[in-house]
Chain A
Amino acid sequence: ETGVTQTPRHLVMGMTNKKSLKCEQHLGHNAMYWYKQSAKKPLELMFVYSLEERVENNSVPSRFSPECPNSSHLFLHLHTLQPEDSALYLCASSQGLESETQYFGPGTRLLVL
């Protein structure tokens, strides 16, 4: 089974919609991450969770709301998004937080109209 899965793979939403992105890791890792990848920009770290506790909230607007119910699942709840939020959202996991290799999922391509 693929190490890190993400659903949906593609999402189109209006600015007034509410949607959620889901990430699941099957690697037995303790840390999970959300990244945003926009065209012509470096990957931006958004949130980090370790053992279900948030350890990083990298100045992300409140219209993005993460949730980590257990060490295998990570959600990103979206509401009232802007067109500039259109991007590829990548989830990753690692064994721990310190200098560990991060393993990425396939991403969700989000288009906000």
Chain B
Amino acid sequence: AQKVTQAQTEISVVEKEDVTLDCVYETRDTTYYLFWYKQPPSGELVFLIRRNSFDEQNEISGRYSWNFQKSTSSFNFTITASQVVDSAVYFCALSLSGTYKYIFGTGTRLKVLA
């Protein structure tokens, strides 16, 4: 069975601190996709990144970076120099190849304090 675990329920940091959100997934499939979404208080899930299981290169996009490690089944998300606008709930999700179903984690609420 597939599963996504976001063990951190809530994280609070002070502005300009770096913060890492953890995501651990379980699947026996060799081809799959991993996603991160941001859900601000407004409610919309904002797509951040999609990564396929064959691409283990880390990705950087501005202040955001992602560390994909198949050896530990983890796909962690780091925000550098956090800002108040980063406050949101962040979801990690897993999708198997050829399907439309996402297995979402329970989310990590990030609070960035001014």
A109 is an interface residue with CB less than 8 A from chain B: yes
Q: How far is the CA of A110 from the CA of B80 in the complex (A)?
A: 35
Smallest CB-CB separation from B49: which chain A residue? Answer: A101
Interface string of B93-109 (1 = CB under 8 A from A): 00111111110111000
Q: Tell whether A31 is near chain B: CB-to-CB under 8 Å.
A: yes
* Interface SS of chain B: loop
**A84 contacts the other chain (CB 8 A):** no
| CA of A111 to CA of B66, assembled, Å | 37
Count B interface residues, CB 8 Å: 22
Asked whether A66 is an interface residue with its Cβ less than 8 Å from the other chain, the reply is no
* Residues from chain A with Cβ under 8 Å of B37 in the complex: 104
The answer to whether A98 touches B98 (Cβ under 8 A) is: yes
Across the interface, which residues of A come within 8 angstroms of B95, CB to CB? 99
A-B CB pair tally, cutoff 8 Å: 52
Given known contacts A104-B44, A106-B44, A107-B44, A42 and B104 CB-to-CB distance under 8 angstroms: yes
Known: A42-B106, A99-B33, A103-B47. A94 touches B100 (CB 8 A): yes
Instruction: Decide: B43 and A88 in contact? CB cutoff 8 A.
Output: yes
B99 touches A102 (CB 8 A): no
B 41-79 to A, binary, CB cutoff 8 A, 1 in contact else 0: 011111100100000000000000000000000000000
- Cβ of B102 and Cβ of A102 under 8 Å apart? yes
Q: Which residues of A contact B91 (CB under 8 A)?
A: 43
> Is A98 touching B45 in the complex (CB atoms < 8 A)?
no
Residues of A with C-beta under 8 A to B98:
98-99
Q: A89 to nearest B CB, angstroms? A: 10
Q: Are B101's CB and A45's CB within 8 A?
A: yes
10 extra interface residue pairs, beta carbon distance < 8 Å, beyond A31-B100, A42-B104: A56-B100, A90-B43, A90-B44, A94-B100, A97-B100, A98-B99, A99-B96, A99-B97, A101-B47, A102-B102
Residues of A whose CB lies within 8 Å of any CB of B are 31, 33, 42-43, 45, 48, 55-56, 88, 90, 92, 94, 97-107, 109
